[in-house]
Amino acid sequence: MDIQAAVVREPHGSFSVETVELGDLQPDEVRVRMVATGVCHTDAVVRDQVYPTPLPAVLGHEGAGIVEATGSAVTSVAPGDHVVLSVNSCGWCAKCLTGSVTYCENLYGRNFGGRRPDGSTSITDASGELSSYFFGQSSFATYANVAERSVVKVRRDVPLKLLGPLGCGIQTGAGAIFNSLMPPMGSTIAIFGAGAVGFSALLAALVSGCTTVIAVDINDSRLEKAQALGATHTVNSATQDVVEAIMKATDGRGVDFALDATGIAGVLRQAADSLAVRGTVGLVGSGRPGTEASFETGLSITRGWTLKMIIEGDAVPQVFIPRLIELWTQGRFAFDKLITEYDFADIDTAFADSEKGDAIKPVVVFAHTEEVL
């Protein structure tokens, strides 16, 4: 069937909305009519070929929409169901079988390979095959054939056009708190990077009962937003000594937890140096492959601190995303305050605004459906 898709054809290129061909469903796939999809930093990373998903490609991995049809082997959803699309996994490796699906042993190929496991693609154009199946979905399109393991069924009485970012960015930040760091009530935390992931972590830290929540960024408007969302302290790392400011905010003890959502090696070092004795720092920001960070190891051994690498918030999306939605419906997790909407035709503007810091979490809304709630 003919669909509209945003195709990126060269490194650092623009997204061109084109008519392309969506192939037949495979038995383990779900055809989803997209209502909206989030724009994520990972899409930009692949567009710029930091991660070498083959181009030309249809990217997008924070889709939300309505099931149109299902393959013969699909059992988890049915036509008419509302769904959010998330990370793909194989389902049969040791990590998947023990519930660590975001550490699937086949994670890279299933999400960044640009093809199905059998080597086929789901999208073609007049020139031939396009890389697709990005995160099992390629949601920068009006319709997608999606791996069943990327599909999360959600309740029908919530606004689909808000839910796409739960599939990656918001799941990552919130999951880093709820699933990975698990700060106890009354603990202290510093969050480095006031973007969609960092803000989601901030909201989750407040739900968890953290009583000192420090936001660190170089953008004053983002820090003002963090304060409005509930941060108890803010630090502009461009004008302040970050470690000194965090120590001052914690009466010299340092923070129990720190989360680096930037992927910048020097920031990770600051996060580690800001920790209290037996503190834990988590890294969710993705740097270029081969990036290295240095840490002080002489006196650090007496502090007994821990470093955790975190993918997709250590979540099982089919379990975790509905829980985030429940928190939102109760008014306890206001991720909707992070979202700026764009028409599909303006997808390049959405990316540009994200990169400039003008939009925290851009969401592209498709005009072809009356179910944009």
Q: What is the mean pLDDT of residues 319-337?
A: 97
d(CA 298, CA 99): 36
Task: Kindly report, as residue ranges, where domains of CATH 3.40.50.720 are found in the chain.
Answer: 173-311
Q: For the domain made up of 2-154+334-365, give the CATH fold.
A: Quinone Oxidoreductase; Chain A, domain 1 (3.90.180)
Task: Say what the pLDDT of residue 60 is.
Answer: 97
Q: Please write the tens of the pLDDT for every residue from 156-180.
A: 999 999 999 999 999 999 999 999 9
Q: For the domain made up of 173-311, give the CATH fold.
A: Rossmann fold (3.40.50)
Task: Say what the pLDDT of residue 116 is.
Answer: 95
Residue 4 has pLDDT above 80, yes or no: yes
Pick from 152, 156, 111: nearest CA to 134: 111
Q: Please write the tens of the pLDDT for every residue from 8-54.
A: 999 999 999 999 999 999 999 999 999 999 999 999 999 999 988 99
> Which residue is associated with the tokens 């692949």?
46
Secondary structure letter of residue 366 according to DSSP: -
> Which residue is associated with the tokens 């928190």?
327
| Cβ neighbourhood burial of 81 (10 Å; 0-12, 13-18, 19+) | middle
Q: Please write the tens of the pLDDT for every residue from 125-155.
A: 988 899 999 999 999 999 999 999 999 999 9
Task: Say what the pLDDT of residue 372 is.
Answer: 46
Residue 193 in contact with residue 261, Cβ under 8 Å? yes
Q: Residue 146 contacts by C-beta under 8 Å, 6 or more apart in sequence?
A: 29, 30, 31, 32, 63, 85, 136, 137
> Under DSSP, is residue 309 helix (H, G, I), strand (E, B) or coil?
strand
Task: Kindly report, as residue ranges, where domains of CATH 3.90.180.10 are found in the chain.
Answer: 2-154+334-365
